[in-house]
Structure 1
Amino acid sequence: MSNLLTTTTLNRRRMLQISAAGVALSAIGMNTRAFAQSGPVRWVSPRGSLEVVDDFAYWVAKRMGYFGDLDTSVEAGPPDATAAIKLVDQNQSDFGYPSPGVLSLGLEQGMKLKSVFHIMAGDVFDFAFQKGKAPADLKGMEGMTIVLGSAGWQSIADPMLAAAGVDLSTIKYVEVAGWGQSLAQGQADAALTWEGLRAQWRGQGFDFDYLLGKNASVFPANSFVIRAKDLDDPALVETYTKYLRGWSMGLEFGWLNPAAATQIAMDEFPGLATQMDPATAVESLMQQSGLMHAHWDKRGKWGLHLEDSWQSYFDAIHKIGQISQPLKAGDVVTNALIDGANDFDHAKVKADAEGFELRDEYKAVDIAAIEATL
C-alpha cells in the first residue's frame, strides 16, 4: 500500500492542525460582510464541487420557484472539509453544511455556530472496500489503512470506528485527492464515502463492497449551520426561515418524485451524464433522500434535530478526545426555525411533483427496483 500519489498521512495532531488552519478570505471571491444582510443568502458545499445530485432540493426549489423572491447563491467552496464552517464563521457565507464531526472541530476552536436544519437525520457515511474484502462489521476494520478525500474527514471516521470498539491507534489515514481511484487500485484497505456517492462511484466503474453507516451507526450526519448571533436578528431569522422553507419544499418534492428531482438536478450539470446514467443518478438521489427522511416517526418535519441522537454523538467524541470539553446538544442545535420552514402548501408540492413532465429516459427508471436495493 505504498506509492500513493499526492497524499498526506494523517494522525490526530495533523488532522487538528489542518482543521485549525484558516481559509483565506479571498478563497471563493468573497469579502467579509454577512451576505443575507446585503445580498443573496449564500450556502457553501462541503465537497469542493456542486456537480452532484446531492443538492437536488436546492435545484428543485430554484426551478419551481419555492424560494419566492428571495435571492440565493450556492458555492462549491475550497476542497477542505472544514472550509464551509470557517467561511460561515468569517462572514463569507450564511450557511455551511458540515458533518457533526467537522462542526465539533469548529466549536472546539471557539467558532460560535448553531445547527438550525438537520438534513441528514441518519448516518450518511459508509466505508468502501475492494470487492470481496469487506469485513463483517466496523470492528473488523482494526489495523486498516483508510483513504480520505480531505484530512478533516478523520473527524467523521474516528467516532464511527470508536463506537464499534476499534482501537483508533491501529488506523492509518491517508489524504488522497482521488481517494476512490486509490482504493480501486489497491492502495488502501478502505475509503470513506457516503450515500449518493456510492451510486455515483458505481456509475464511474468502481465496483466496491460497503459497510453502510445507516446500518452500522446511530449517529446524526450533516446539517445546515449559521452564526449563532444571527438568531438574535429578527430580519435574518425571517430571511433564513423563508430560505429553509424553500429547501423543505424541494426535499418533499424529491421524496414524492425522485426521478423528477434527479432530472432537475442533472439538468444543472450536463457533464454528470458522462458519470451516471438516469437510473444510477436516481439511485444516488434516493440513497440520500432516504436518510433525509430518516426517523420520520419521531421527526415528522424536514430539518428537525433529534437532540438525544446529537447528544450521544457529542458524548462519544468527547470520550475519544476529539473535543476537549463536553458539549450539550441543546447548546449546539436548535429547532427554532423548523416550524416556519415546514409551513408551506404541501398539496401544491405534491401536485407539482406528480405533475412534473419527465423525459423518456427518466420515465423508464424503475423506482421500485431501486427501492429494493436501498
Structure 2
Amino acid sequence: MRRRIISLLAALAAVSATAAQANDKVIYAVTTSSITVGHAAQSSIPNGLGLWKEHGLDVEVIGLSGATAGIQQVASGQVDYATVGTDALMIARSKGIKVKAFYTYAQRPIYQVVALKGSGITTADDLKGKTIGVPDMSAGSVPFLRSILKRSNIDPDRDVKWLSVGLGAPAANALRQKAIDVWAAWDTAVAALENNGFEFVQVAPDWANEMPGNVLIAKEETITANPERAIMIARGVAEATIFGFANPEGSVRNHWKLYPSTAPQGEDSEKALKQSEHIFDARFDLMKLPPGVTKWGMNIDAKWKDLADATIEEGLLPKDFDVKSAYTNEYIDKINDFDAHKIEELAKKSAW
C-alpha cells in the first residue's frame, strides 16, 4: 500500500512538473517578418543570455507581419505577448478588443518618412500632390503619416497618392526610378537602405517624433491572471536593452549566431559589422530613456494623450476614447527591480 501511495505521489509530482513546464512556455511576437539586429532586445539578447530562462520562462520569439496581425493573435490567444505601435493598440481598444500595454519598448515612434536628399522635399508641407510609398497599406507607417498630413492641411485621401512598394530591393527600385517621392517605413528598414548608399532627408515633423513608440501588449485577462509572467517578460527586455547599449558589437554577433539568415554572406566582416550596427543603433536610439524618466518601460501620460488627440483628429478614434484604458504603469516598479550595474558589467565582460 505504501509503495502504491509513493508511486501515486511520484506520478502526481511528474504531472505537476509537466504542467509547470507547459505553463512556462511563452509565445512572444515581434510584429515584423524580418527579425533584424534592431530587434535584438526582444529576441537574441534575452534568449542568448538566458535572461528569460533565469526568470522561469521558455520564450519562443516569432515574427508576424504588422501590428494588426500581432493584436489579432494576442486577442485570439495564439500569442501571449507582442510588441505593436501605440496607435494600432488604441484603435483596437476602441473597437472593444481587450488588449493593453504594460511596457513602452520604444519611447519614440519607429516610423520614418524619408525623401531622397536633393529631391526638394524637406517637410510635410511639401507632400501635397506627391506619391507616397509604403511597405503595404496595413503598415503602421500609414496611420502615422496620415496624421502628419492631416495636421499639415493635406487630405490624405485626395491630395496624395499611396503605393505599396514593399521593403528592401523593391522599395529601393521604386525610389531610384522615381515611382515614389517619399517612403514611409520604419527605422531598421530605412537604415538598411542607407547601408546600400541611399541618403535621406527626414520629413516627419518634430511633434510626430515625440509621440510614444512601440509597446508590449497582452490580453487584460492574461496580465491579470499572471502578472508575474508579464513582469518577467518585460524585465528580460529591459535587461537586454541595457546589455545592448553596453555592448552593441557583441549583441550584433550574437544575433547573427541565433538568426543566421541575418548574418552577411561573403562580405567584408568589418564593413558588415558596421552596417549591422547601423541597423542596431537605428532601433536602440529610440529605446533611450527620455529626460526626466528613470525607469525602463514607463508609459508617459502626456505622450499618450497627444497621440490619442491626433488619432481622434484623424477620425480613427471616437472623441470620448479613454486613452488610459490602453495602458498601465502598475508593474513598472517591479519590472525595474533588478541590478542594472550587474547587467552592464556582464556586457563589458561578454565574450560575444
8 A Cα contact 1:81 1:150, kept in partner: no
The reply to whether residue 76 of structure 1 matches residue 63 of structure 2 is: yes
* SS across alignment from 2:51: coil
Which position in structure 1 is the counterpart of 2:201? 210
Aligned to 1:63: 48
- Cα deviation per residue 1:4-52 (whole Å; 9 max; x = unaligned)? xxxxxxxxxxxxxxxxxxxxxxxxxxxxxxxx974522111211222x1
Q: Given the superposition, is the C-alpha separation of residues 196 and 134 from structure 1 closer, same or farther in structure 2, using an over 3 Å criterion?
A: farther
Judging changes above 3 Å, is the alpha-carbon distance between structure 1 residues 100 and 252 closer, same or farther for their aligned structure 2 residues?
Answer: same
Partners of 2:149 and 2:292 in 1: CA distance: 26
1:170 and 2:156 correspond: no
* Correspondence for 1:327: 321
In the alignment, structure 1 residue 227 sits paired with structure 2 residue 212: no
Q: CA deviation at 1:219?
A: 1.3
Report if aligned partners of 2:289, 2:296 keep a CA contact under 8 Å in 1. Answer: no
**Deviations along 1:246-276, whole A, 9 cap, x unmatched?**
1110001112222222222222223323387
In the other structure, the counterpart of 1:13 is: none
User: Does 2:143 match 1:143?
Assistant: no
Question: What displacement does 1:201 show?
Answer: 1.7
Structure 1: runs of 5 or more not aligned: 1-35, 359-374
Superposed, 1:123-202 pairs within 5 Å as 123-133=109-119, 135-153=121-139, 154-168=142-156, 169-178=158-167, 180-181=171-172, 182-202=174-194
Distance 1:119 1:165, change over 3 A: farther
TM-score norm. by structure 1 comes to 0.78
The answer on whether the counterparts of 1:305 and 1:334 sit within 8 Å (CA) in structure 2 is yes
Tell me the distance in 2 between the aligned counterparts of 1:353 and 1:39: 26
Contact persistence 2:122–2:203 (CA under 8 A): no
Aligned length: 318
**Distance change (3 Å), C-alpha of 1:41 and 1:134:** farther
Which residue in the other structure is 1:368 paired with? none
Aligned-residue identity in percent: 20
- Secondary structure in 1 aligned to 2:263? helix
SS at match of 2:27: strand
Using the size of structure 2 for normalisation, the TM-score is: 0.83
* Deviation sequence 1:124-149 (CA, Å, 0-9, x none): 22112234215221221122211211
- Structure of greater Rg: 2
Match of 2:94 in 1: 108
**Secondary structure at 2:338's aligned position in 1?**
coil
- Contact 1:53–1:281 at 8 Å: present in 2 too? yes
C-alpha RMSD over aligned residues = 2.3
Indicate the SS of the match to 2:330. Answer: coil
| 2:261 corresponds to 1:267 | no
* Mapped contact 1:122–1:294 kept (Cα < 8 A): no
Q: Deviations over 1:262-307 (max 9, x none)?
A: 2222222233233871111112211211211141x23211111101
1:257 and 1:161, CA in 2 relative to 1: closer, same or farther beyond 3 A? farther
Q: Is the aligned partner of 1:307 residue 2:298?
A: no
Is contact 1:134–1:211 with CA below 8 Å preserved after alignment?
A: no
